[in-house]
Amino acid sequence: MLVAEPALRWMIAGEWRQHPGRIAVAAFAIAVGVALGFAVHLVNGSALASFGQAIRTVNGAADLQIKAASALGMEEALYGRVAMAAGVADASPVITLKAQSANGEAIPVLGLDVIRAANVTPTTVGKSASGPGTGASDPFATDALFLSRAALAATGARVGDSIAITANGRTQTMVVRGTLPAVADTQRLGVVDIAAAQMLFGRLGRIDRIDLKLAEGGDPGAVRAALARLLPADAILSDGDDQAAQSDALSRAYRVNLDMLALVALLTGSFLVYATQSLSVARRLQAFALLRTLGMQKRGIIALVATEGALAGLAGSVIGLLLGYGMAAGALALLGGDLGGGYFGDAPPPLIFAPGAALAFFALGMAAAIGGSVLPALQGARAAPAVALKNAGDALDPRARPGIRVPLVLAALGIGAAMMPAAARLPLFGYLAIALLLAAGIAAMPAIARLLLTPLALRPSGAFSFDLAVQHLRGTPGAAASALSGIVASTALMIAMAIMVTSFRGAVDEWLGDILSGDLYLRTDPGSGGFDPAAQGTLARVNGVERIVFSRTVPLVLAADQPPMQLIARPVMPAMEGMTLIGKAATVPRGAIPVWLSEPAARILGRSTGDSVRLPFGHGERFVVAGVWRDYARQQGAIAIESRDYERMSGDLTRDSAMIVLAPGARADSVSRALIAASPPALQGRVQAAQPAVLRRFALKLFDRSFAITYLLEAVAIIVGLAGVAATTSAQALARTREFGMLRHIGVSKRQIVAMLGSEGGLLGLVGSIAGVLLGIAISQVLIHVVNPQSFNWTMSTRFPLGLMASVIGALTLAASLTAMLAGRRALSVDAVRAVRADW
Amino acid sequence: MTSLSPMPAPDARLHIAALSKSVPGGRVLFSGLALDVAPGELVAIMGESGSGKSTLLNLIAGLDRPDSGDVVVAGTRLGGLDERGLTDLRRARIGFVFQAFHILPYLTLRRNVALPLAIGKTGAAEALTRADAMLEQVGLGARGDDYARDLSGGEMQRVAIARALIHGPALILADEPTGNLDPESAELVLALFAQATRERGAAGVLVTHSAAAAAIADRTLMLTPSGLVPAHG
């Protein structure tokens, strides 16, 4: 038992028996917060674990890797130099291919030197099948292919079968010679001989990766330093930690944002606990005064209220964890491992229970419940017993001005926190600013309630019930503020999220309108090789095509622990079609190569127009930022470069996408069919054509999908807020049965009292939602101008969802009014004479 | 009515010397007030509304601080105690009876009576056994499992007296204990209060507006700005 004194146990048990609904609301609020937080965490954790396993499988278990910075690969001569480097025990060259089977299934294929790989990355080495019909006579044959169990299942092939594999724009027939027993059951992977991969799939003289095994007892730091000196500009060093960090960084900001949203629900729950506990303390002030008079110390009262909060937290946290696990399982099945964010493809990963996270969310739930109880507990302990025993009403003098110093200080700290830069690439100070602004808003509620209600109080309407309601709320700002805290917190957070999402969606929609300037768009699947110059010529001559602009997108790894940026080779100047510059363009000095950074790339690299930038591409050329363009599509950043510069530096003439302007009178659908038909045979089935309207619709659908979870969290915040209104108005009405009895004695009808309570509830809802909307607008500015740029590296201007804001105010006012009337009817069922006579 | 068995109340004496108190506006309620109440003695204090009767009780109970002067309860000088010490003193040595009863509606009568013991180190079982005995003594022996809503005003005040006595206080304070009662109930409650004070050898202070209530006291004093003076008539 948390409290030793029998009196405390009796008081807690008595309160729970008398007001189980109040405890249930507090526990519910905590349960919702814990459930959301735990569910989001479990889903993210499961997805990352699954994604990480996929990465590890493809990478084998090398001590260290040298990777090509782009899909163009590195010169294979590097392998010889690296293998001879001091501290390197063995090295295994690798070709990586994004291959596709004849039935359209994506299979990552590695080209390996089996002898070297057996020593460096043994998990990637195939096992030859033996026996009649397996074709196992020559595992090193050019056409030998080894498949993992998942790849065999995906292709429908068996050992010994011949299957067609398309990669890098070429289709080759391979024979399945065996399996990859060390690869996980769920992981698709194929392995071929490296020489065969280079020859068959157009990668002669190039490799994508060198896996390294370091000499035992060597100094890894020294080996890294020695290797770094050997590397050309288009290669980078990477180890297991880098790869983990890279996959973590891919979706980190999105995950942290979801975690924060879930914590916001928990914070709202904490406010609700605060509201219910404040009212409970106010109602029991005389009981606490009696206990103090009878000899209970202040800490006894604090322990009593805090224990009540802790018990609600205990129930809420346990229920929340169970609920969260169920929600995570459902969310994985419905929205996938990225909760709609679009970071991880493929099938939903299996749900992995995380005991550490369960403990952490349990502790957070307890902290939220106890935290929400501490202030009311202090308030209960501080009350002077002699005064409280005589006074059943609000101890605050109705004439006293509610203080604004604390809210002003909190607001100032919040604004200060909003000005701080990102910490560990996350907007941690932005979230702190939101919490501080929220606390400032809640702390200012007595003053705001007084401010908004004073004009009504000074000019009575003549309607008895309404005027009495106004006087009551204005005279008891403390009670009004307690009732309002939950509704203000949830409204503010919901409005802030809604403004941010509306602004974001509006900005994306406008941007799509700007960039989709062509009549038709053509794209090949990643890894399919793209259109060679001959194919480009064929496509340009298709009937109905007036102009076709080809581009090439290559992932470019700038840092081993960061996800790759996209290098986009396309004609940029002078028209800059489909690009909207932010700020002015710069003239690039003679001899430098101009590049145009997307807004996220500029923020990640810390570069602006006119700056020089180092890129792992080319042969030591100097790149200068000629401009920064708006891009909401590639969160990890994109770099545009003139096609001619790209071709000169890389020698790569292939293109993987194109924008088409139709000839006058040409029909988009017939031209798109003709373009697909004119594509090379190896690309059949891997080329898509789309019109701008379809692309726009698709992009917005993706956007809405990725924000689906935030809509859910918003809805939960509002439900929690409404539950708070219901709990607080109901508790207040019940606490005022004696007042109602007196009013009934002096001739006020039940109907008038219900109307008075309805007016009070409506006024509370109105004041709370107006304050919540104003606070929400302030918080939205932190989301838009601090959290979004620091999380996702893109900026936008504010757009207000005016209809939603008006609806929220209307709905909350109505709901609060109805709830208060319902609570009033219940309170009025107490006999009037008894209510006046009773002490409590 | 059952006789209230006396319980030892060592040093059960109240001593007040040169006590002064003014209200926040500056008005002096009283100054130089002195009072001695012997063990087993019951003193009634009367006075006009606003004269400071309840304030005087609060000062005696350590719920308020005087501007100057001393209050000594059962040998302990209140001025030398901090808030924790005062709270401990109330728990151990003082019993209270209020005009508004203050019976907690969500506790049984047995638990209401046992509260002063249950706040301290006494185990729940022992506290409840003693509460049953106290309820028996105030004539409510069969009502231990009832709640306040089941009682009349007089019965509630008898429960309050049982609660005030359960821990054997040296000082019993009553603030208008009959203010909410009909004459018949008031007479019963006053008799019980007087009997409890005298039989237990505790010092008793009764603040009241009612001359009838004051009549049961050994002495009746009037509270005036210059202190306590004997009441006439």
CB atoms A7 and B106 under 8 Å: no
Q: Is B212 on the interface with A (CB under 8 A)?
A: no
Find, in chain B, the residue whose alpha carbon is nearest to that of A289. Answer: B102
| Smallest Cα distance from B163 to chain A, Å | 9
CB < 8 Å to B163, chain A: 294
Distance CA A210, CA A203 (A): 15
Side-chain half-sphere of A653: how many Cα atoms within 13 Å? 6
Distance CA A632, CA A512 (A): 9
Please answer whether residues A157 and A188 qualify as being in contact, where contact means their C-beta atoms are separated by less than 8 angstroms. no
Bond from prior residue into A574 cis (ω within 30 degrees of 0): yes
CB atoms A389 and B88 under 8 Å: no
The domain ranges of chain B are 14-230
The domain ranges of chain A are 1-58+244-395, 64-238, 396-515+698-840, 520-690
Helix (H, G, I), strand (E, B) or coil at A176: strand
- The answer, yes or no, to whether residue A373 has pLDDT greater than 80, is yes
Query: Edge-to-edge strand order for the sheet containing B42-46?
Result: B94-97, B171-175, B203-207, B42-46, B219-224, B227-230
Find, in chain A, the residue whose alpha carbon is nearest to that of B127. Answer: A6
Distance CA A794, CA A560 (A): 23
Strand-pairing partners, residue A166, are A100, A171
CB atoms B106 and A294 under 8 Å: no
- The answer, yes or no, to whether residue A408 has pLDDT greater than 70, is yes
Q: How far apart are the first and last CA of chain A?
A: 29
- The answer, yes or no, to whether residue B3 has pLDDT greater than 60, is no
Strand-strand pairing, A144-147 and A170-179: parallel
CB atoms A7 and B102 under 8 Å: no
Residue A802: its H or E element: helix A802-828
Find, in chain A, the residue whose alpha carbon is nearest to that of B55. Answer: A386
CB < 8 Å to A300, chain B: 119
More confident residue, A263 or A512: A512
Distance CA B129, CA B39 (A): 27
Please answer whether residues A166 and A99 qualify as being in contact, where contact means their C-beta atoms are separated by less than 8 angstroms. yes
Residue A482 identity (one-letter amino acid): S
Strand-strand pairing, A144-147 and A190-193: antiparallel
Distance CA B209, CA A638 (A): 88
Confidence of residue B26 (pLDDT cuts 50, 70, 90): confident
Helix segments in A590-707, DSSP class H: 599-605, 643-650, 668-677, 692-706
CB < 8 Å to A7, chain B: 115, 118-119
DSSP state at residue A403: P
B14-230 maps to CATH 3.40.50.300: yes
CB < 8 Å to A17, chain B: 106
Q: Is B100 on the interface with A (CB under 8 A)?
A: yes
CB < 8 Å to B127, chain A: 6
- The answer, yes or no, to whether residue B65 has pLDDT greater than 70, is yes
Three-state SS sequence of A566-621:
EEEEECCCCCCCCCCECCCCCCCCCCCEEEEEEHHHHHHHCCCCCCEECCCCCCCC
The winner for highest mean pLDDT among A111-115, A444-448, A449-453, B161-165 is B161-165
Mean of the per-residue pLDDT values of chain A? 81
Helix (H, G, I), strand (E, B) or coil at A379: helix
- The answer, yes or no, to whether residue A432 has pLDDT greater than 70, is yes
Find, in chain A, the residue whose alpha carbon is nearest to that of B96. Answer: A294
CA torsion angle for A351, A355, A360, A364 (degrees, to 10)? 70
Mutation for A interface: B98, B104, B121, most A CBs within 10 A: B104
A53-111 confidence digits (pLDDT tens): 665 555 556 678 888 887 788 888 888 888 888 888 888 899 888 888 888 788 888 89
Residue bearing tokens 């292709």: A155
Distance CA A83, CA B48 (A): 105
Q: What ipTM did this prediction achieve?
A: 0.79
B175-192 confidence digits (pLDDT tens): 888 887 788 888 888 888
CB atoms B104 and A14 under 8 Å: yes
Please answer whether residues B34 and B16 qualify as being in contact, where contact means their C-beta atoms are separated by less than 8 angstroms. yes
| Smallest Cα distance from B41 to chain A, Å | 22
- The answer, yes or no, to whether residue A217 has pLDDT greater than 80, is no
| Smallest Cα distance from B90 to chain A, Å | 5
CB atoms B148 and A839 under 8 Å: yes
Q: Is the overall model pTM greater than 0.90, yes or no?
A: no
Confidence of residue A250 (pLDDT cuts 50, 70, 90): low
Distance CA A364, CA B136 (A): 49
CB < 8 Å to B98, chain A: 389
Of B88, B101, B115, the CB nearest to A839: B101
DSSP state at residue A785: I
CB atoms B87 and A15 under 8 Å: no
Q: Is B85 on the interface with A (CB under 8 A)?
A: no
Phi-psi region of A67 (alpha: psi -120 to 50; beta: other; left: phi over 0): beta
C-alpha dihedral sign at A73, A74, A75, A79: negative
Q: Is B120 on the interface with A (CB under 8 A)?
A: yes
Please answer whether residues A295 and B116 qualify as being in contact, where contact means their C-beta atoms are separated by less than 8 angstroms. yes
Tokens of A789: 């740029």
Confidence of residue A490 (pLDDT cuts 50, 70, 90): confident
Distance CA A544, CA A689 (A): 14
Side-chain half-sphere of A191: how many Cα atoms within 13 Å? 32
A634-664 confidence digits (pLDDT tens): 878 899 999 999 998 888 888 888 889 999 9
Please answer whether residues B161 and B111 qualify as being in contact, where contact means their C-beta atoms are separated by less than 8 angstroms. no
Residue bearing tokens 């209530």: B213
Tokens of B104: 């907690």
* CB atoms closer than 10 angstroms to residue A619: 8
CB < 8 Å to A5, chain B: 118-120
Distance CA A616, CA A556 (A): 8
Residue bearing tokens 């914590």: A263
Render A192-261 in DSSP notation, one character per residue: EEHHHHHHHTT-TTEESEEEEEEPTT--HHHHHHHHHHH--TTEEEE-HHHHHHHHHHHHHHHHHHHHHH
Residue B147: C-alpha distances to residues A11, A102, A832, B151 (Å): 14, 82, 20, 7
**If you average pLDDT over residues A194-223, what whole number do you get?**
83
Helix (H, G, I), strand (E, B) or coil at B57: helix
CB atoms A294 and B118 under 8 Å: no
Distance CA B207, CA B220 (A): 10
Distance CA A558, CA A592 (A): 19
